[in-house]
A = this chain, B = another copy of it.
Amino acid sequence: MALEKIKTGVEGLDAMLNGGLIKGRSYTVVGGPGTGKTILSMHFLMEGAKNGEEGLFLALEESAMEIKENMALFGWDLRRIKIVDTTQDLSGKWSIKVDSAIAGPELTLNNILATLRDYINKYNVRRVVIDSLTSFKTMQKTGIDYRRGLLTLLKFLSTEGCTSILTIEDSDKEALMEEFLSSGVIQLDFVEHSGEWLNSIRIKKMRGSSYDQHTRPLKITNKGITIFSNESLFR
């Protein structure tokens, strides 16, 4: 009995994943600055949108406006993607910007879960992106609070039946707690080659599925991300 998979929308990546991500699970995409985490996540939502599925992008760092501007580079129509971003009022308090309203619930774990629940129910959201977990992490007081909050978030997404990508800001090679707790890990990176910094992708973990264990070259072009799933890249 094979588990049902859904496509990420990045052709080479779906090949590496033997068909895509397992439906209803949460995955982490880890990478340093400029490695393509946000673009990869948006590909994943665009693929759903192409098939009429609603997607939700929880933007904890960039504004919805900036994300839209950046994605315009790839000629994408993001109208079916709900982008929820955050805002700060004059007193310095951050809140969640619901339906483009200026004021919204304060930015806490409980309000994030409530907002996600509202959107998921209202729009029948099937694909969720949280960009980034690192931002979510700084809301927690201690490392243990974060682990608990993360488990709560993962349990919530699982209960709602969403397939999710959670990005993590990290350029270190050591494995992170999030990588152990999620169903799979995609690592984005740079490899220096004769003075040029080439983008790369590697699947580090994928529960319940076989997958390609090579580090592959990745290019960001005006069509988004292309992965050369037949070429190798040495670190």
In the complex, the answer to whether A155 meets B34 with C-beta atoms within 8 Å is: no
Kindly identify which residue among B3, B25, B134, B204 contacts A72, using a CB–CB cutoff of 8 Å. B3
Interface membership of A213, Cβ < 8 A:
yes
In the complex, the answer to whether A152 meets B194 with C-beta atoms within 8 Å is: no
The CA of A22 and the CA of B175, in the complex, are separated in Å by: 31
Interface membership of A169, Cβ < 8 A:
yes
Interface membership of A114, Cβ < 8 A:
no
A residues with a Cβ closer than 8 A to B are 1-3, 22, 25, 32-34, 38, 61-63, 66, 69-70, 72-73, 87-88, 92, 94, 132, 134, 138, 144, 147-148, 151-152, 155, 158, 169-172, 174-175, 177, 179-181, 183, 185, 190, 192, 194-199, 202-210, 213-216, 220-222, 232-235
Across the interface, name the chain B residue whose C-beta is closest to A144: B138
In the complex, the answer to whether B175 meets A66 with C-beta atoms within 8 Å is: no
The CA of A85 and the CA of B152, in the complex, are separated in Å by: 15
A194 to chain B, nearest CB (A): 6
Known: A32-B175, A180-B134, A214-B196. A69 touches B3 (CB 8 A): yes
Across the interface, name the chain B residue whose C-beta is closest to A179: B33
Q: Which 9 pairs, one residue from A and one from B, show the smallest C-beta to C-beta distance?
A: A34-B205, A195-B232, A70-B208, A171-B175, A33-B179, A33-B205, A169-B180, A32-B175, A197-B213
